[in-house]
């Protein structure tokens, strides 16, 4: 019975400990080059122009990414990536820095810069009439083990660009739900059955 006990303990430990839910945004500080309107450096970018994109002077510090286009209403310069390693049901914070890159003399709108997860905006900002850096923060509850993170500028027809840097996603709180006793009992019974099969095979060989 000693081997059965070991198998059961290992099975229970795997269920109860879980993984830490480490959500890692790839290249969130833009140390690595990110191409415009293409995929690379951990990100996919769309609807940008040559005055935007990855720039060595657009970050806090150093490299950052400029969300710039011509202010078209139908399209918005957007940068995105699928972040994996999430715990379904857990709450995550998305944080970063943003500022105006060109349009320091103008402001406007209420929803010009936006941060979305799975196409739901968790942070929105008006245009900013100066070039000083601001912080943003938004949160969401993970519905799966991965989530689509998107940051957009020049939304709703405003030709107000933004530079971004230091994009991060961190676990804010674990899911409140714990495995139900019935589910654990099922796993435990499965482990016992598996161990019994192994023992039978072992005996047969003897």
Residues that bind Ca ion (CB under 5 A): 29-30, 59, 62-63, 68, 72, 76, 154, 159, 161, 165
Residue with smaller CB distance to Ca ion, 29 or 44: 29
Positive or negative torsion for Cα 50, 80, 132, 58: negative
Residue with smaller CB distance to Ca ion, 86 or 94: 94
Sole residue written with tokens 């804010």 = 172
Residue with smaller CB distance to Ca ion, 152 or 191: 152
Report, in Å, the least distance between residue 2 CB and Ca ion. Answer: 55
Residue with smaller CB distance to Ca ion, 30 or 123: 30
Phi, psi (rounded to 5 degrees) for 134: -125, 160
Contact 165, 96 (CB under 8 A): yes
Report, in Å, the least distance between residue 62 CB and Ca ion. Answer: 5
Residue with smaller CB distance to Ca ion, 13 or 74: 74
Torsion of Cα atoms, 164 then 165 then 166 then 169, to 10°: 30
Residue with smaller CB distance to Ca ion, 83 or 160: 160
- What are the DSSP E strand ranges found in 100-177? 113-117, 120-125, 134-141, 146-152, 162-173
Distance of CA 179 to the CA centre of its chain: 25
CA distance 5 to 25: 40
Report, in Å, the least distance between residue 73 CB and Ca ion. Answer: 6
Report, in Å, the least distance between residue 193 CB and Ca ion. Answer: 53
In the bound state, the residue with its beta carbon closest to Ca ion is 59
Sheet holding 43-46, edge to edge: 39-40, 43-46, 78-84, 146-152, 113-117, 120-125
Report, in Å, the least distance between residue 124 CB and Ca ion. Answer: 14
Report, in Å, the least distance between residue 17 CB and Ca ion. Answer: 35
């Amino acid at each position: 019975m000693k081997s059965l006990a070991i198998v059961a303990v290992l099975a229970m430990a795997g269920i109860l400990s879980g993984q830490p839910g480490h959500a890692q945004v790839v290249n969130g500080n833009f140390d690595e080059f990110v191409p415009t309107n293409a995929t690379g450096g951990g990100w996919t970018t769309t609807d940008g122009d040559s005055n935007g994109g990855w720039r060595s002077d657009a970050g806090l510090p150093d490299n950052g990414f400029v969300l710039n286009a011509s202010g078209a209403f139908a399209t918005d310069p957007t940068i995105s990536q699928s972040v994996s390693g999430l715990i379904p049901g857990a709450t995550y914070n998305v944080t970063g820095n943003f500022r105006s890159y060109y349009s320091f003399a103008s402001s406007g709108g209420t929803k010009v810069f936006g941060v979305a997860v799975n196409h739901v905006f968790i942070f929105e900002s008006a245009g900013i009439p100066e070039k000083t850096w601001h912080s943003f923060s938004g949160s969401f509850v993970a519905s799966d083990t991965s989530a689509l993170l998107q940051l957009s500028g020049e939304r709703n027809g405003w030709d107000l660009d933004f530079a971004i840097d230091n994009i991060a996603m961190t676990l804010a709180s674990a899911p409140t739900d714990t495995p139900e006793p019935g589910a654990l009992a099922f796993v435990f019974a499965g482990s016992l059955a598996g161990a019994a099969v192994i023992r039978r095979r072992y005996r047969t060989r003897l």
